[in-house]
Structure 1
Amino acid sequence: MLVTEYSGRGKQGMDSSQGNDVRHGISCARRTARAAKADGARDHEAALAVHRHCGVSLLRAHRIVHGYTLVEAVDALKELLRERGTPAEGLAHQRMSQWECGQDTPSPHYLDALCLLYRTRPDRLGFGTDYSEPDPVPRRELEDTVDRRHFLGFAAAGATFMSAPSVLVGWSNEELEQPGGRRATTAYVGMLEDLTEQNGFGLYTTPPAEFIPSRMVDLARIEACLLRAASESARRRLHRMYAKNAGFIAIRLNDIAGPEETFEWFRIARLAAGRAEDDTVQAWVAGHVGDACTCQRHGYASGLTAAQKAQTAGARVANPAAVLGHLVEAGVHARLGRRRETIDAVRNAERMYEQLPAEATVADGVGVSEYLLRWHQTNALAAVGAHQAAAPLRERVLEMPFIRDDEIGKALLDLDVAAAEFDAGQVDQGCDTVGAAWQRLPGEFRTGQVPRRAFEILDGLKPQHAVTRAVADVRELLAVSGQTALPG
């Protein structure tokens, strides 16, 4: 193989139930819960273990720990409410699912009932924060190391901001200078940071029509907070969040839009990262700018420069931005037909990825998960014609749960298969693969990256293949159903 030999298990022996991809299946979550309980963990500690290992919300983790299906949890909640004399027959499992996914937040009435059902308190379900004084007796290490990544979803943040604007926006600078005002500001900035981190987990799996407007709402919240933030430290934190959310928008636009919209949002992200004085975020933005240059077939020299800038992050210490820089470099070289340079960059990314700490390999939009690594390696190797090396990596990507929700990723992998078939002279089969991938693709993704890659492959066909009826038909399919003009 051209890259480190893949044994079928990945980094640190990762399989479908053990690894760094935060999108694990229900069986993995149940195994994690059982293992935690076997080690003597209490229910909320086992839920925390599931939350941290599998990336699910704390609310869903509690349901899994208690052994409920979604429907069973709703029925149990209804029964509990009936016993308390407050029946809720209209409650459906769809609503519970929205609470668990952060798309909605339970009212105080339902939140209290959920706490009773799972025998816990709101912050352990992901709604709010425990501000009580520390216990005089040391607590278990698992509880002490809780991160608040998923403690408040988008809807809960919106409810906090919209229902109590005086908490922040309506306060005067004098009020913010008081101890209570500073605490409120600090708490709100912390909430926005948690929300920003949560946003990254849906970067490649949430539909753009939902994801992009939501990030714009978050930017408005951050702007409002910037108007009142008194300390320079808080302002830098807010600019860092602004850079990440603007970057998320640009990354998603890269999938469905043209260079003008994509690079304008990257410009905004770059400015905010500069104001945050955060070299790591600046490198992260640079890496994705380079990737956009590759995907947009726009300014390969600029893309290579951006990729190399990302590689300088961390002063040669392994970090996600530098890994991304190597992956993007591989993609640029591949589009320029530089086989040796592509393979070298793929190997460099592999070596650095192996050195990353586990917390840097989660699929949070900032880290580099194994899914992202293998996908980029596969795409670069396929683009340069190294199909034999790309095949096992592509098989690994297709084994990962993340691929089920990444419509763009699936389609582009199918196009890599088509490229291999075209290179082998199997023109009709390659056209069938392109057509099938296109027909499976939801309509909202039929602009942007997928048609660009499809036309890139078709434009690179040998002259005797390019003039066949099958190629003409698939070009017409792409142009008409995607409502794009045929390339000149």
Structure 2
Amino acid sequence: MIACEIEAHCGHRRLKCRRLANGWTVSQAVAAAHQLVQDAGLPKVGLSDRSWKDWEAGVLPSPDYQDLLCRLFATNPVALGFAHDYSPQQPDPLWSGSASGATLPTGPELASRTSPDDGAEVAETKRRDAVKLAGLAMAAPAAAARILEQAAAEAMEFTRQAEATSLGSGTLDHLDLAVAEFNHAYSLKPPQAVFDAVLDYRRKVDRFLKADHTHRQERELRAFAGWLSELLAWLAHDLGNARTGLAFATDAFVQGRQAGHGQLCAWAMDAAASINLYEQRPAQAREAALKGLTEAPAEHPLTVRLHAQAARAAAADGDAEGFTTAFQAAEDAHQLLPPRSPGRFGMNVLPLADYALTSYPATSFIWLGQAEQARRHAEHALAVYEAAPAASRSPSREAIARIDLALAHAQLGDPEDAVALGHQALDSARVVDSVRHRAKDLTAFLTHRYPRHAAVEGLRERLATADAAARPTLPTTPSGA
């Protein structure tokens, strides 16, 4: 009777009604089945909670499992909803005995089946529908108490599943520390070594995402995946593989979206903007910068940097007016920054905004052909970088500032100083691809303007040697989902 009442009141499939009538959770039912197999000496089975839930959802078990379930509930496949029996049979003691047929209509079938000569059956159908709508209100007291008791057990099971995870207790803390250390190592260690280590961690996070975890843990894991991919984008750029860099920048943006982390999305687009600029794709660079601005917090140094990226992209496209407008927006945003700048993995990010305002104008004026303006800004940028404390100096930024200054001198008709500054840039402790790329711009200009100058040929040969020695083999796509 209990299983029948549950079916009538709740509309569950028969297998679930049987389980609830016995007062079992899914895990308890699975355990009871395994115990039956052991006690009866039956062949061992691989029954799991997932399989049982599939059956209760309507997936038909195999004949062997149907036999096991019939043994467990001491009944037949018809009573468990696995088959229909149209022959007369004795009523099942756990089901209503009022009908002689082996099958009982449920749900829409019950509501639609009426008898032309028995108005009481129509009334009974309507009563059952009303009971389903009213929930427990019209259930028998004993049945209602049993259902409520079972609901409490199921609620505990829901909670257990919501908290089910294969992550160790310190995994997320370890990832937080690792990402911070990788970001600190970015400017201090060879990019190839850092790339390999970061990619290894990115693959670990991908495995964590494919294993059991809670919803909260998934958001955190996706954020870590995004931060690692954002760093891999910069490292791939430093190593001269733009395709890999853009792939990881895209992955960082997607992971940030999945994690609901707008700032991460904005940082990813900052990387994409730079990579596109060095690939001579100013339109895509500007598009990435503007996309990042839609995600960046208004009073954040990243907003300053993204406006400056858009300005640099306009200059690369020969749009002097666009450069002026975007750079003014960057300066205005800088004025709105709070006294205390936010950090990123323990590092102050304000210098990144200051760098954009200091260095980007020099590069932009080079591209716009305004040599005197470029010289003035490059000298200022170089002075700022050289005056910085040793712990916060950036060799690659200093090198690029020297190349900007060299290009300004070359445009102003001073090839000797230009070549000297080019050699100083290549003497840097961190000659990454962006440095070599800008050095190529310098040697190309010098070769075109001063084709017979011996010193120019020497700088070009030195750059070719450095470039050939720095070409690693990188994967071309991120490993994350």
Q: Please confirm whether the aligned pair reaches a TM-score higher than 0.5, indicating the same fold.
A: yes
Alignment of 1:224-263 (within 5 A): 224-263=207-246
Alignment of 1:267-416 (within 5 A): 267-297=250-280, 299-314=281-296, 317-357=298-338, 360-362=341-343, 364=345, 368-370=349-351, 372-383=352-363, 384-385=365-366, 386=373, 387-401=375-389, 406-416=394-404
Please say if residues 229 and 248 of structure 2, whose CA atoms lie closer than 8 Å, have aligned partners that are also in contact: yes
* 2:435 equivalent in structure 1: 450
Separation (CA, whole Å) in 2 of partners of 1:273 and 1:243: 6
Deviation at 1:281, TM superposition (A): 1.5
1:477 is aligned to 2:462: yes
Give SS of 1:219's match.
Answer: helix
Please say if residues 377 and 393 of structure 1, whose CA atoms lie closer than 8 Å, have aligned partners that are also in contact: no
Q: 1:422 aligns with which of 406, 410, 418?
A: 410
Aligned-CA RMSD value: 3.3
Give SS of 2:468's match.
Answer: coil
Please say if residues 309 and 325 of structure 1, whose CA atoms lie closer than 8 Å, have aligned partners that are also in contact: no
Q: Deviations over 1:20-60 (max 9, x none)?
A: xxxxxxxxxxxxxxxxxxxxxxxxxxxxxxxxxxxxxxxxx
Relative to structure 1, is the Cα distance of residues 366 and 291 closer, same or farther in structure 2, using a 3 angstrom cutoff?
Answer: farther
Please say if residues 423 and 459 of structure 2, whose CA atoms lie closer than 8 Å, have aligned partners that are also in contact: yes
Please say if residues 165 and 212 of structure 2, whose CA atoms lie closer than 8 Å, have aligned partners that are also in contact: no
Deviation at 1:221, TM superposition (A): 3.2
Please say if residues 164 and 214 of structure 2, whose CA atoms lie closer than 8 Å, have aligned partners that are also in contact: no
Q: Percent identity among equivalent residues?
A: 18
Q: Deviations over 1:103-124 (max 9, x none)?
A: xxxxxxxxxxxxxxxxxxxxxx
Q: 1:441 aligns with which of 428, 433, 457?
A: 428
1:221 is aligned to 2:204: yes
Deviation at 1:233, TM superposition (A): 1.9
* 1:71 equivalent in structure 2: none
Whose Rg is larger?
2
Separation (CA, whole Å) in 2 of partners of 1:403 and 1:455: 29
Tell me which amino acid in the other structure corresponds to 2:247: E
Separation (CA, whole Å) in 2 of partners of 1:308 and 1:452: 24
Give SS of 1:313's match.
Answer: coil
Deviation at 1:431, TM superposition (A): 0.8
Separation (CA, whole Å) in 1 of partners of 2:443 and 2:277: 17
Deviation at 1:463, TM superposition (A): 4.7
Give SS of 1:482's match.
Answer: helix
Deviation at 1:280, TM superposition (A): 2.2
Q: TM-score, normalised by structure 2?
A: 0.56
Separation (CA, whole Å) in 1 of partners of 2:432 and 2:349: 26
Structure 2: which 5+ runs fail to align? Answer: 1-156, 367-372, 471-481
Q: TM-score, normalised by structure 1?
A: 0.55
Deviation at 1:350, TM superposition (A): 3.0
Deviation at 1:251, TM superposition (A): 0.7
Relative to structure 1, is the Cα distance of residues 450 and 359 closer, same or farther in structure 2, using a 3 angstrom cutoff?
Answer: same
Deviation at 1:365, TM superposition (A): 9.3
Tell me which amino acid in the other structure corresponds to 2:428: L
Tell me which amino acid in the other structure corresponds to 2:462: L
Separation (CA, whole Å) in 2 of partners of 1:366 and 1:272: 22
Separation (CA, whole Å) in 1 of partners of 2:204 and 2:175: 8
Give SS of 1:483's match.
Answer: helix
* 2:419 equivalent in structure 1: 431
Please say if residues 259 and 296 of structure 1, whose CA atoms lie closer than 8 Å, have aligned partners that are also in contact: yes
Relative to structure 1, is the Cα distance of residues 262 and 395 closer, same or farther in structure 2, using a 3 angstrom cutoff?
Answer: same
Q: Per chain length, whose mean CA-contact separation is higher, i.e. which structure has more relative contact order (CA < 8 Å, sep 6+)?
A: 1
Number of aligned positions between the proteins: 306
Separation (CA, whole Å) in 2 of partners of 1:325 and 1:349: 8
